[in-house]
Amino acid sequence: MKIWIPIALLAACVIGYAVVAGGAPAGEKAPAGAADPAPAKPAAHPAYHAHSPPIGEKLMLSEDEWKKKLSPHQYRILRESGTEFAGTGKLLHNKEDGTYRCGGCGAPLFDSETKYTSGSGWPSFYAALEGRIVEKVDTSHGMVRTELLCARCGGHLGHKFSDGPKPTGQRYCINSASLEFQGEDGRVISGE
Residues forming contacts to Zn ion in the complex (CB under 5 A) are 102, 104-105, 107, 150, 152-153, 155
Torsional sign, CA 23, 27, 30, 31: positive
Nearer to Zn ion, 152 or 171 (CB): 152
Is the separation of the CB atoms in 140 and 164 below 8 Å? no
Query: In whole angstroms, how close is the CB of 74 to Zn ion at the nearest point?
Result: 11
Residues with Cβ within 8 Å of 54's Cβ and at least 6 positions away in sequence, in order, are: none
Nearer to Zn ion, 100 or 126 (CB): 100
122: Cβ contacts below 8 Å, ≥ 6 apart = 84, 86, 89, 92, 158, 173, 174, 175, 176
Residue 125: beta bridge partners? 115, 172
If the CB atoms of residues 104 and 158 are measured against Zn ion, the closer one turns out to be 104
Active-site residue flag, 173: yes
Q: In angstroms, what is the minimal distance from the CB of 152 to Zn ion?
A: 5
Minimum Å distance from CB 21 to Zn ion? 54
Partners of 110 in the β-ladder: 100
Closest contact distance (angstroms) between CB of 105 and Zn ion is 3
How many angstroms separate the CA atoms of 111 and 182, rounded?
Answer: 10
CA distance 27 to 72: 50
C-beta closer to Zn ion: residue 63 or 163: 63
Q: So which residues are the catalytic ones?
A: 173
